[in-house]
């Protein structure tokens, strides 16, 4: 699929570096689960942080996009976008699964109105190629996946407010 290839090209070589990791984002959600600062800093050592293309569904299940910094978002978002193409519908209907990765991915693309400025600032350090790939994804996703109506509306609003400026 061309869209998937564009995402892979745009984010080729992106690593987490010192960004917030999936397990760190999860621990932030849980008020750090009583972790010391040292334990928090060590969490990424048990994670895949150098190749987003090799992240498993299980690893993506720990990504809470609202708690990522821009480096974490830049690292995990392309994997979530590609995963979403194959798993959107199943995530809502599988009683053993969780729709949370879908919810977090859609939130990153189409944030709630009251937090959009925060999210849009998170994308400032993305490259033009990365923003264009995301904008194309936002534009094409409703034709590729049967989205829930509220996700269609949210993506359309976000495209009109932010993403469409990156389409050439």
Report pTM. 0.90
Structure confidence at residue 168 (pLDDT):
76
CA distance 155 to 139: 8
pLDDT of residue 97: 56
Please compute the mean of the pLDDT values over residues 157-163 and round it to a whole number.
96
What pLDDT, in 10s, does the model give residues 61-117?
889 899 999 999 999 999 999 999 988 876 655 544 556 778 889 999 999 999 999
Residue 115: count of CB within 10 angstroms of its CB = 11
* Measured distance CA(128)–CA(134) in Å, rounded: 10
Name the pLDDT band for 11 (thresholds 50, 70, 90). Answer: very high
What average pLDDT score do residues 148-160 get?
95
Residue of 31 and 40 predicted with greater confidence: 40
- pLDDT value, residue 95: 47
What is the distance between the alpha carbons of residues 87 and 105, in angstroms, rounded to a whole number?
12
Which pLDDT score, from 0 to 100, does residue 91 have?
64
């Amino acid at each position: 699929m061309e869209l998937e290839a564009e995402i892979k090209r745009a984010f080729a070589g992106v690593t987490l570096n010192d960004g917030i990791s999936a397990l760190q984002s999860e621990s932030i959600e849980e008020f750090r689960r009583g972790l010391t600062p040292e334990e928090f800093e060590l969490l990424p050592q048990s994670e895949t942080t150098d190749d987003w293309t090799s992240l498993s569904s299980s690893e993506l299940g720990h990504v809470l996009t609202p708690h990522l910094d821009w480096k974490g978002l830049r690292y995990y978002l392309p994997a979530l976008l590609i995963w979403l193409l194959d798993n959107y519908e199943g995530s809502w209907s599988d009683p053993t699964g969780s729709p949370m990765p879908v919810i977090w991915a859609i939130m990153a693309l189409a944030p709630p109105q009251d937090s959009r400025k925060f999210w849009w600032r998170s994308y400032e350090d993305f490259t033009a190629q990365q923003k264009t790939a995301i904008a194309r994804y936002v534009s094409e996703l409703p034709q590729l996946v049967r989205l829930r109506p509220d996700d269609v509306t949210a993506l359309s609003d976000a495209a009109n407010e932010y993403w469409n400026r990156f389409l050439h």
